C-alpha cells in the first residue's frame, strides 16, 4: 500500500501506546503496517478488519495526516431544548420537587412530564435519561427521607434493636456441625 508519510514509524508507535490514543490504536497500527509495505489484505487479516476499513483509514492518513485517524463529528438529531431551556431544566432538577407536587424526588417519568408541560417538548423515557446524563446528573440517588421521619425515634429503635440482637446471640447455643464448623442454633424461635 502506498502511504504518504506525515510522521515517522517511531513517532506513530509511540503515539499508539498512549492511553489518550486508544480510540485510534488499530488505525495507527494499520498505517504503520502500510508504511512497512504490507498489503491491505495482509493488514486486514492481521488486525481482523475488512479491507475497505484498512483502505479508508490509510487513505485518510495519507490525505490529512494525524487528524485523519480520528472520527469526524456526526450530525445526529439536534437538541430539542435551547441552551437557556437546558439551564432552566437543570435548575428544576437541582431544586427538586415542590411540596405541592407530593413527590420525594423526581423520577424520569416526572421529568418527562415537566419537559412537556413547561417546554412543550416530547421526549421518550430513554431520551430523558440521555438528557439527564448529558447534563451530568446521575439517575441513581440515595433513598429519600420521609418528611414525617423522627430521627430521635429511629435512633432509640436502633439502640433497642442492638441490645436485643446482642442478647439473642449471647443466649444462643453453639454446637459443632458434622462438618466441624460451629453453628448457632436455638435463637428462641421455632421454625414454622
The pLDDT tens digits for 85-119 are 999 999 999 998 998 988 888 899 999 999 999 99
Q: Tell me what pLDDT residue 149 has.
A: 82
With cut-offs at 50, 70 and 90, classify the pLDDT of residue 139.
Answer: low
Say if residue 40's pLDDT is above 60. yes
Regarding predicted confidence, which is higher, 26 or 190?
Answer: 26
As a whole number of angstroms, the distance between CA 53 and CA 3 comes to 15
Q: Output the pLDDT for position 49.
A: 93
The reported pTM is 0.43
CB atoms within 10 A of CB 102: 7
Would the CA dihedral through 21, 23, 26, 28 be positive or negative?
negative
Instruction: Sketch the domain layout of the chain as residue ranges.
Output: 9-69, 83-134
Given this model, what pLDDT does residue 141 score?
59
Amino acid at each position: 500500500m502506498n502511504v504518504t508519510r506525515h510522521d515517522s514509524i517511531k513517532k506513530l508507535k509511540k503515539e499508539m501506546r498512549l492511553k489518550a490514543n486508544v480510540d485510534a490504536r488499530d488505525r495507527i497500527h494499520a498505517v504503520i503496517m502500510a508504511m512497512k509495505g504490507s498489503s491491505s489484505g495482509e493488514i486486514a487479516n492481521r488486525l481482523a478488519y475488512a479491507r475497505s476499513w484498512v483502505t479508508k483509514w490509510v487513505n485518510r492518513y495519507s490525505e490529512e495526516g494525524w487528524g485523519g485517524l480520528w472520527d469526524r463529528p456526526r450530525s445526529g438529531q439536534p437538541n430539542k431544548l435551547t441552551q437557556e431551556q437546558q439551564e432552566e431544566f437543570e435548575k428544576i432538577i437541582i431544586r427538586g420537587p415542590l411540596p405541592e407536587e407530593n413527590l420525594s424526588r423526581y423520577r424520569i417519568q416526572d421529568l418527562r412530564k415537566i419537559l412537556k408541560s413547561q417546554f412543550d417538548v416530547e421526549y421518550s423515557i430513554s431520551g430523558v435519561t440521555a438528557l439527564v446524563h448529558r447534563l451530568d446528573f446521575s439517575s441513581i440517588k440515595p433513598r429519600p427521607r420521609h418528611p414525617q421521619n423522627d430521627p430521635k425515634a429511629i435512633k432509640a429503635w436502633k439502640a433497642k434493636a442492638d441490645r436485643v440482637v446482642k442478647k439473642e446471640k449471647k443466649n444462643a447455643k453453639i454446637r459443632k456441625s458434622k462438618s466441624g464448623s460451629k453453628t448457632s442454633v436455638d435463637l428462641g424461635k421455632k421454625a414454622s
